Amino acid sequence: MEIIKGRAFKFGDNIDTDQIYPGRFLDISEHSEIAEHAMEGVDPDFTDKIDEGDIIVAGNNFGCGSSREHAVITLKEAGISAVIASSFARIFYRNAINLGLPVIEIKDMKVKEKEELIIDINKSTIKRENGEKYSFISFPEQIMEILETGGIINYYKNNVEG
């Protein structure tokens, strides 16, 4: 998997799926329109601030709440390349992997807002602008393959359909 470079956008604890993608927009099915509402429940101007490849850095229990895949879809479609958090709600974590969005658990990572981060998924490291490095638990081989192919559907097509 290639190296991910992006600016950090910080959020606190218990960011739920309704803050990531508010339920009032669930009737939208076009992914480009879904992307317009990323993180709207906590920062209505979020999509105006981010660029393709940026990274969310959050506290504990990111993605808690409902099991809606829209929360991951909106982040990916808005251009978020990874989410780093102290911990994730398990269903959000699984949805992210299934849709090909890297989700990385690191306890109490210190970063500045809009600081550039470099994530090397293969080496399980994150480097800050100041040179400080963080390590995280490597993804198992099968999850790496799912992420590399862009999600579970592509993984299935590549490995099961021949």
List pLDDT tens digits, range 42-97.
Answer: 999 999 999 999 999 999 999 999 888 999 999 999 999 999 999 999 999 999 99
Identify which of 42, 35, 46 has the alpha carbon closest to the alpha carbon of residue 59: 42
CATH of 4-161, one of 3.20.19.10, 3.40.50.620, 3.90.79.10, 3.40.1180.10: 3.20.19.10
Token couple for 162 = 């021949």
Give pTM, 2 decimals: 0.95
Report d(CA 80, CA 47) in Å as an integer: 10
Only one residue has tokens 């105006």, namely: 48
pLDDT of residue 108: 83
Task: Give the residue-averaged pLDDT of 110-128.
Answer: 97
